[in-house]
Amino acid sequence: QDGVRLRATISEFGPVLLSRILDLTETQSGIVSVIFQYCDDNKLPLLDLKDFKKILQYATQEGKAEFTEAYGRISTASTG
């Protein structure tokens, strides 16, 4: 018996629920919260995990200096 399909964006989950679903550590959950804050501050949509991954890559690579200045450093060891 099939259930009802549920569609939700990553933004609708929010950082706390997303962290719980992914069973993240406290440090990783903090990074998720910072990513959500960055997206809110810059009016960037987080629709799916691809969007989240792109922002995370930006924060740890080409946008590292900008991101670190405004939100603090993200350890690449914590992001995988």
Buried b (16+ CB within 10 A) or exposed e, 61-75: eeeeeebeeebeebe
- pTM to 2 decimal places: 0.86
DSSP H helices, 42-75, are: 49-60, 64-71
- The predicted pLDDT at position 80 comes to 67
- The predicted pLDDT at position 39 comes to 95
Q: How does pLDDT run along the chain (80 residues), one tens digit per residue?
A: 688 888 889 999 999 999 999 999 999 999 999 999 999 999 999 999 999 999 999 999 998 998 889 988 887 777 76
- The predicted pLDDT at position 31 comes to 93
- What is d(CA 27, CA 2) in angstroms, rounded to the nearest whole number? 37
Q: Domain locations in the chain?
A: 10-71
- What is d(CA 44, CA 22) in angstroms, rounded to the nearest whole number? 22
